[in-house]
Amino acid sequence: MAQRLILASASPRRRELLAQADFVFEVQPAEIDETPLPDEPAAAYVVRLAMEKAQAVFASCGDPEARVLAADTSVVLTGGSNLGKPLHAADAARMLGQLSGRTHAVMTGLAAVDARRAVSAIEITQVFVDLIRADEIEAYVAGGEPLDKAGAYAIQGYAARWIPRIEGDYFNVVGLPIARTVALLRQLHEPEAGSTPE
């Protein structure tokens, strides 16, 4: 029998991508404090949150045989400014204005936990954005697509027209870097360094 897999995320994009990769799983979103630590770098922040989500769900699932996968994504502007999900329409418009004509990094922290070990990774994709006119931003925000997305855009949606290229994993920008996720889940079953296989 396959080991039970729990996705510690409410993101519909992550559910779709994990299913696309042919995983059978259930969903149990994590409830944790997502406040950044003082002076915490964005890369450290997303990995820490992913690990805390995975550990919280593993502790509460009541199944010592389960494995839990969690992820956290941030959109990071050059200079380190971190864009999360917009609070409202005006916040989404502000974020899109900041992204216009600039390159930013999409950072996803990943964590996988079972009773034996906990492993983590990070995937970083550079995204190049054309200049976006104010009226285009207004229309995009009015359509509602940006309101539940980190950085206030969906590369797989209407916003694709403003993204001429990326460097890195496209699926990371959508919501879950599939290849890195598969590799991380495999790590749970690998012998630890220095251990003797049974």
CA dist., res. 38 & res. 46, Å (int): 14
Is residue 177 a part of any domain in this protein?
yes
Q: Domains in the chain: how many in total?
A: 1
Residue 15: domain span: 5-187
Span 28-49, pLDDT tens digits: 999 999 899 998 999 999 999 9
193 found inside a domain? no
* pTM of the predicted structure, to 2 decimals: 0.90
Q: How far apart are CA 37 and CA 80, in angstroms?
A: 14
Contact 18, 179 (CB under 8 A): no
Q: Are strands 118-128 and 165-167 parallel, antiparallel or unpaired?
A: antiparallel
Round to whole Å and give the CA distance between 28 and 10. 7
**Collapsed DSSP state (helix, strand, coil) of residue 69:** strand
pLDDT above 60: residue 74: yes
Does any domain span residue 102? yes
- Arithmetic mean of pLDDT, 52-57: 97
Per the domain annotation, does 52 fall within a domain?
Answer: yes
Cβ of 29: how many Cβ atoms within 10 Å? Answer: 14
Tell me whether residue 98 is in a domain.
yes
Active-site annotation, residues: 72
Q: Does the residue 196 lie in any domain?
A: no
- Tokens 């990326």 — which residue? 166
pLDDT at 111: 98
Q: Is residue 139 part of a domain?
A: yes
Question: Given this model, what pLDDT does residue 196 score?
Answer: 37
Mean pLDDT value of segment 22-29: 96
* Per-residue pLDDT at 192: 60
Looking up residue 180, the CATH number of its domain turns out to be 3.90.950.10
